[in-house]
Amino acid sequence: MNAMGPLPYSATVLDHFENPRNVGDVAGTAAVATVENVDCGDRVRLSLRVADSGIILEARFRTFGCVAAIAASSMTTEMVRGMDLESAAALTDRQVAAALGGLPESKVHCSVLAERVIRKAIENYRSAAGKAGQEAKQ
Ligand code: FES
């Protein structure tokens, strides 16, 4: 709630906040990242299980943050499951917000955490895979 009253969240946002999907961690994966919004201190950790084919089989999150950040994290895990890494890395905060039925103007920035964390997790996965590939050549 703010000084003007409760924010006008969509039914989908409230559903993902009250019943977040895929909370937790994927164990033993290099496809993991944590990002923080330095302005508010909200934090999202995302981990992925990626098949050798590059398809995301599982996505889990832990978010310390506001209603919008939690709902966006939950929605992101649902959206990226079944995607290939290219498509998931191209996911935008606007797509996540749209899938949530929109976000109040003052909370649009909260979905940016979801976009940043999925890109970072994929970057970390590719970096680890690159190193493993180099070690295998030696
Ligand atoms: Fe910090 Fe929403 S207020 S991400």
CATH no. for residue 59?
3.90.1010.10
Q: Is 66 considered catalytic here?
A: no
Can you give the residue range of the structural domain that contains 90? 18-130
The number of domains in the chain is 1
Which residue is associated with the tokens 């909200």?
A: 42
In the structure, what pLDDT confidence band is assigned to residue 135 with cuts at 50, 70 and 90?
A: confident
Residue 1 lies inside a defined structural domain of this protein: no
pLDDT, tens digit, 9 for 90 and up, residues 18-71 = 999 999 999 999 999 999 999 999 999 999 999 999 999 999 999 999 999 999
In the structure, what pLDDT confidence band is assigned to residue 131 with cuts at 50, 70 and 90?
A: confident
Residue 7 lies inside a defined structural domain of this protein: no
Q: Is 40 considered catalytic here?
A: yes
How far is the centre of ligand 1, averaged over its atoms, from the C-alpha of 56 (Å)?
A: 26
Residue 47 lies inside a defined structural domain of this protein: yes
DSSP lists the bridge partners of residue 45 as 34, 62
In the structure, what pLDDT confidence band is assigned to residue 4 with cuts at 50, 70 and 90?
A: low
Q: What does the DSSP 8-state code read for residue 65?
A: S
Residue 41 phi/psi, 5° resolution?
A: 85, 0
CB 108 within 8 A of CB 13: no
- Average pLDDT for 95-108: 95
Ligand 1 in reach of 113 Cβ (< 6 A): yes
pLDDT, tens digit, 9 for 90 and up, residues 82-97 = 999 999 999 999 999 9
